[in-house]
């Protein structure tokens, strides 16, 4: 018994050190690196493209979805700039290799979220939840606005929308 008592402070110290280590590691998390440094600003402001050209499901589905190669190919099947980046992009087409964009905004499976509901009937603009995407010259590594429960609930409160647990957790 005595020996166990002696061990308790050591175990506590070990846990504290491990926790501190995890915090440091998280702080160093480099975030998501996309396969190609896609430039929203160049396409949205420069080419005046609509968000729905590349995220066609936002008004019709729960998920907005990231663009398939064929959307980029519509313009880039011919050389537009000849830059190193564009050549890298066109390499995916010749290899028939689907670009694997990584999702950075995500809610857990136990949360129900629908883009159609918010964008169409709620008339909420993309920037309310995603920040000023049209100004992004390089892909964000983290969500500009983290999709937390507090974020959902604050806006629902403001708009007088239900904050019943079961509305979001089904
Ligand atoms: C020409 C195609 C194109 C257009 C137009 C476009 N996007 Fe994107 N979008 C992408 C690609 C490719 C990615 C993945 C790479 C990245 O994050 O930049 C992406 C990623 C995103 C993401 C991050 C999603 C996630 O979880 O990773 C958001 C949010 C987004 N776009 C919003 C918008 C908004 C808002 C507009 C209009 C203002 C827009 N996009 C216009 C191609 C496009
Ligand atoms: C509606 C036409 C159109 C679509 C669709 C489109 N682009 Fe582009 N993209 C352009 C044009 C035009 C340029 C050249 C703009 C300039 O040089 O000012 C360009 C430039 C680029 C460049 C080169 C940037 C540089 O620094 O040279 C990359 C990479 C690129 N686009 C990636 C993509 C990806 C990835 C997609 C699909 C998610 C996509 N584009 C969809 C029209 C398009
Ligand atoms: C009310 C908040 C809200 C609005 C408004 C909103 N989004 Fe989202 N968006 C989210 C959340 C939350 C996620 C993560 C969803 C998930 O994991 O199912 C997300 C994910 C995404 C993704 C990642 C791909 C995917 O399929 O999940 C893209 C791209 C995106 N949104 C684009 C848009 C565009 C474009 C608009 C405007 C037309 C928009 N969003 C409006 C909250 C919003
Ligand atoms: C910027 C404001 C805003 C944010 C952020 C937001 N919502 Fe909403 N939400 C709305 C509005 C407005 C409506 C009502 C849409 C309508 O008129 O149909 C709504 C409706 C809903 C509904 C349907 C409620 C019902 O009546 O059954 C659900 C579920 C929902 N939101 C989930 C979420 C989740 C999950 C998040 C966070 C990931 C979120 N919302 C973030 C504004 C927001
Ligand atoms: C408007 C949408 C919304 C409502 C209403 C809502 N939640 Fe959530 N909840 C979320 C989202 C989004 C997440 C995931 C993001 C996060 O953890 O912040 C979440 C996460 C959680 C988690 C997991 C936390 C974790 O750390 O993994 C629990 C537990 C939870 N909610 C309980 C509740 C309870 C209880 C209520 C009712 C009092 C409620 N939620 C109401 C959107 C909602």
When pLDDT is cut at 50, 70 and 90, the band that residue 53 belongs to is very high
Whether residue 133 has pLDDT greater than 60: yes
pLDDT tens profile 73-113: 999 999 999 999 999 999 999 999 999 999 999 999 999 99
- What are the tokens at 46? 């420069």
Burial (CB count within 10 angstroms: exposed 0-12, middle 13-18, buried 19+), residue 48: exposed
| Protein residue with least CA distance to atom 40, ligand 5 | 165
d(CA 93, CA 136): 25
Residue 31 alpha carbon to ligand 2 centre in Å? 24
Query: Phi-psi category of 89—alpha, beta or left, where left has phi over 0 and alpha has psi -120 to 50?
Result: alpha
d(CA 18, CA 27): 14
| CA nearest ligand 2 atom 2, residue | 75
pLDDT reading at 164 higher than 60: yes
Smallest CA-to-CA distance from 37 within 91, 97, 81, 84 is with: 84
66 lines ligand 3 (CB under 6 A): yes
Tell me the C-alpha to C-alpha distance, in Å, between residue 47 and each of 53, 66, 142, 144: 12, 19, 25, 23
């Amino acid at each position: 018994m005595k020996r166990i008592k002696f061990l308790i402070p050591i175990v506590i110290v070990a846990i504290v050190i491990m926790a501190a280590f995890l915090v440091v590691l998280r702080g160093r998390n480099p975030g998501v690196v996309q396969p190609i440094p896609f430039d929203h600003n160049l396409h949205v402001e420069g080419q005046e493209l609509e968000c729905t050209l590349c995220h066609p499901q936002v008004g019709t589905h729960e998920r907005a979805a990231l663009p398939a190669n064929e959307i980029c190919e519509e313009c880039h099947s011919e050389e537009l700039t000849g830059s190193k980046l564009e050549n890298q992009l066109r390499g995916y087409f010749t290899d028939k290799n689907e670009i694997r964009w990584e999702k950075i905004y995500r809610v857990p499976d136990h949360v129900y979220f629908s883009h159609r509901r918010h964008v169409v009937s709620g008339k909420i603009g993309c920037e309310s939840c995603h920040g000023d995407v049209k100004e992004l010259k390089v892909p964000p590594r983290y969500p500009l606005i983290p999709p937390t429960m507090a974020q959902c609930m604050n806006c629902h409160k403001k708009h007088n929308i239900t904050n019943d647990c079961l509305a979001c957790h089904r």
